[in-house]
């Protein structure tokens, strides 16, 4: 099998349009009905909604959880607009930001290990678990997951979802794109 991974020279929002184009192409080639997408303020979600408007793909948008920062940064009017278009916006516990969870440092250790592949990869796994924990993707369902390093999107994977209590069932099948780490 030949597959291509796109590597970006830099991280950040300048890659978002290219990421969404790669994701759209890959979704069309397989049986993908949902895309799990990180979007803190709503900019990436707005671009993704426009990019997939002519498809049957449904977005599951995962903003920062309530209490992460001083206020919710996601545009609530956009959340309503996305929901009306058949997409979902889901606030949930950011699992890798639960330092000292039940007396362990496992979430931080896992987050740091995933960051060796890049911040976007860490976020991809985190939001996939959040979406599955919320029942928005089924255990065993293949989906494309999109995230970034700060703002915008620069990382996308094809993965099999599972819930956080069954982390060992998650599978990353393909890396569609990611930034080169420096």
Could you tell me the strand order of the sheet in which 142-147 lies? 6-8, 171-179, 155-160, 142-147, 34-38, 58-62, 88-89
Angle separating helix axes 43-51 and 16-29, nearest 10 degrees: 40
pTM: 0.89
CB 178 within 8 A of CB 117: yes
Per-residue pLDDT of the chain (182 residues; tens, 9 = 90+): 788 999 999 998 999 999 999 999 999 998 899 999 998 888 999 999 999 999 999 999 998 664 555 666 668 888 899 999 999 998 877 676 555 555 566 667 777 777 778 889 989 999 999 999 999 999 999 999 999 988 899 999 999 999 988 989 999 999 999 999 98
Q: Which domains does the chain show, CATH number per domain? A: 6-179 (3.40.1380.20)
Largest separation between any pair of C-alpha atoms in the chain: 47
Backbone angles phi, psi at 100, to 5 degrees: 60, 35
Altogether, the residues listed in the chain come to a count of: 182
Q: How many separate helices (H) and strands (E) can be counted in the chain?
A: 5, 7
């Amino acid at each position: 099998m030949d597959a291509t991974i796109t590597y970006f020279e830099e991280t950040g929002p300048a890659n978002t349009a290219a990421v969404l184009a790669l994701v759209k192409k890959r979704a069309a080639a397989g049986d993908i009905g949902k895309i799990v997408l990180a979007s803190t303020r709503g900019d990436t979600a707005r671009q993704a909604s426009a990019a997939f408007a002519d498809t049957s793909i449904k977005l599951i948008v995962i903003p920062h959880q309530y209490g992460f920062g001083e206020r919710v940064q996601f545009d609530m009017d956009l959340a309503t607009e996305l929901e009306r278009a058949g997409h979902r916006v889901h606030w949930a516990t950011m699992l890798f930001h639960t330092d000292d969870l039940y007396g362990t440092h496992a979430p931080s250790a896992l987050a740091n290990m995933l960051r060796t592949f890049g911040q976007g990869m860490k976020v991809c796994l985190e939001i996939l678990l959040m979406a599955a924990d919320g029942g928005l993707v089924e255990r065993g369902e293949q989906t494309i997951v999109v995230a970034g390093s700060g703002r915008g999107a620069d990382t996308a994977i094809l993965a099999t979802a599972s819930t956080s209590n069954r982390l060992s069932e998650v599978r990353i099948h393909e890396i569609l794109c990611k930034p080169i780490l420096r």
